[in-house]
Structure 1
C-alpha cells in the first residue's frame, strides 16, 4: 500500500484540538453500482430458502427417522454412551432445524427431550414414557403439520411435555443445585 504524502493529509484546527484526516485508500477499489443493479443478499437468501422449501418435509422425515432409530436402539440394547449421544444429537438437530423446516412446535419438544437427556442423573432410571411421549409428539407434529387446527394442540402438547420434563428433572436433581438453575431457566427455543 502506498504511503500518504503530507499534502494528502488534511488537518483541521479548532480552538482546543486538531482533527487529522487521511485519504481513504479504499476509494480506489470501491465500485459504484447503479440503484437498479443493487444486489440484495437478504432477498437472495429468502429466495434460496423458498426454492429449498419443497425439500423440508423430506429432510424433517429423515431427522425424525434418525431420532426414532436412536431410541429403538436404546430400547433394544439399553443406554450406552454412543446410544445416548446419538439420541441427544438427533433431538438436538431437530431442535435446530424444525423451525426452519416449518415445524416450530417440534423444536420445543426436541429441546425438552435434550434437557432430559442432558440433565437426568441416570438415564436408565428415567421413565420410558417420558422419552416415548416426546418422540411420539415430534412424530405426530411432523406427520400432521399440514392441518391448521393441529397447531394449538401441538402448542399445548409442547407446553405440557416441557412441564412434565421440568418437574421430573427438578425432582431428580434436587440434590444437585448446579443443575436446578439451568433446569428452571426459560426455554431458548422461540415460541410462535
Structure 2
C-alpha cells in the first residue's frame, strides 16, 4: 500500500525576505458539511434561554430571598465564618446570574456587596446601613423590575451604591495598597444599564 506523497513546501523569495508555506496536513481529514446541515450552537443556546426565560423571575426571586436570609443570619449571629460565607455566595451568585436573567442592575449591586465583603478589613466595623442598602436594593430591583421607570431608577441606585461602597473601601483601605488596586479597578460585571 503506497503512502500519499506529502505536498512540497513552497518558498517564495522576495528581495528582503522569504515566505515559507507548509502544506496543511489536516486538509485531507477535513470534511465539509452541506449548508443545510450546519449546526449553530449559539442559536441553539439562545433558543434554550428563550424557552427558560419564563423561569428567570422565579429564579431571581429565589436568589434575592437567599441573600435576604443570609443577611438576616448575619444580623443574628454577626459575621462568623459561615454567615459571612453564605452572604458572599448569595451575592456572588446574583452577580453572576442577574445579567443573564435580565436584571443587570441587581448584578451591579451584588458586585458592590461582594467587593465590600472581600475588601473591608473588619466586616463588623462596616456601617450596617451599607449592607442593608445593598440587600434592599437587590430586593427592590428584582421585585420592581417590570415597572416602566424601574430600569433607570435601578441604574442610578446601583451606581450610587457602588460609589458609596467604593468611597468607604478606599477610606478604610488607605494603608492597604494591595486592596486599593482591586477597589479602583473597573467592574467586570456585564452591564446593559442606560
Relative to the length of structure 2, the TM-score reads 0.87
Q: CA RMSD in A?
A: 2.3
Please give the per-residue CA displacement for 1:55-94, whole angstroms capped at 9, x wherever unaligned: 1111111111211111111111111111111111110110
- 1:42 aligned residue: 42
Q: Give the C-alpha shift of residue 13 in structure 1.
A: 5.6
- Does the alignment pair 1:108 with 2:94? no
- 2:123 aligned residue: 123
Distance 1:85 1:4 in 2: 62
Number of aligned residue pairs:
189
Distance 1:18 1:102 in 2: 51
5 Å-filtered alignment, 1:128-143, equals 128-143=128-143
Kept in 2: contact 1:10–1:20 (CA 8 A) = no
Q: Give the C-alpha shift of residue 24 in structure 1.
A: 3.0
Q: Which blocks of at least 5 consecutive residues in structure 1 are unaligned?
A: none
Relative to the length of structure 1, the TM-score reads 0.88
Label 1:175 to 1:35 Cα distance change in 2 as closer, same or farther (>3 A): same
Q: Give the C-alpha shift of residue 36 in structure 1.
A: 1.9
Distance 2:118 2:111 in 1: 10
Label 1:79 to 1:33 Cα distance change in 2 as closer, same or farther (>3 A): same
Kept in 2: contact 1:53–1:101 (CA 8 A) = yes
Task: Please say which of residues 182-191 and 153-162 is displaced more in the overlay.
Answer: 182-191
